[in-house]
Amino acid sequence: MAKKLAGTMKLQVPAGQANPSPPVGPALGQRGINIMEFCKAFNAKTADMEQGAPCPTVITYYQDKSFTMDIKTPPASYYLKKAAGLKPVGKRNRPRGAENPGRETVATVTSKQVREIAEAKMKDLNANDVEGAMQIILGSARSMGIEVK
């Protein structure tokens, strides 16, 4: 007999750094999911990824308190900021794009770097080929104020 679906939820957790503290613990706890089991499974699955890279995760949980998780690749903006070498700024000490994209440029990346990002994100993008994926990444770069040479 199939498991009875209770719901799904989305979290963005740093790779290899899931712990029971907020925001992960309370989000899972109120749905009856075993927090430590999730943390151990997530950290094991993301051990080969770059530590601290934000990983969008879709968690499907069932009425018998079990769950499955689908870990996606980090956002395109994360890869673009890393490729452009943007330095952390602001209250939260995170790298940022332009405040007025289209009018100002904060960094530049090469088309080769865009291709590498597109290939890394290919499984999570709605594109048929690498060129289509590159167009999606170029759009993200443009909206962040990053110029592609």
Q: Residue 30's domain is classified under what CATH number? A: 3.30.1550.10
Domain end, chosen from 26, 43, 71, is at 71
Same domain, 24 and 61: yes
Q: Please provide residue 145's backbone torsions phi and psi, each rounded to the nearest 5 degrees.
A: 85, 25
Q: Residue 99's domain is classified under what CATH number? A: 1.10.10.250
Same domain, 65 and 101: no
**Mean pLDDT, residues 58-72 taken together:** 88
pLDDT band at 58 (very low <50, low <70, confident <90, very high): very high
**What is the chain's alpha carbon radius of gyration, rounded to the nearest angstrom?**
18
The neighbour count for residue 42, using CB atoms within 10 Å, is: 24
Mean pLDDT of the chain, nearest integer = 83
Domain end, chosen from 54, 71, 88, is at 71
Same domain, 31 and 66: yes
Q: How many domains does the chain have?
A: 2
Same domain, 110 and 141: yes
The pLDDT tens digits for 2-44 are 688 888 889 888 888 888 888 888 888 888 888 888 888 888 9
The neighbour count for residue 58, using CB atoms within 10 Å, is: 13
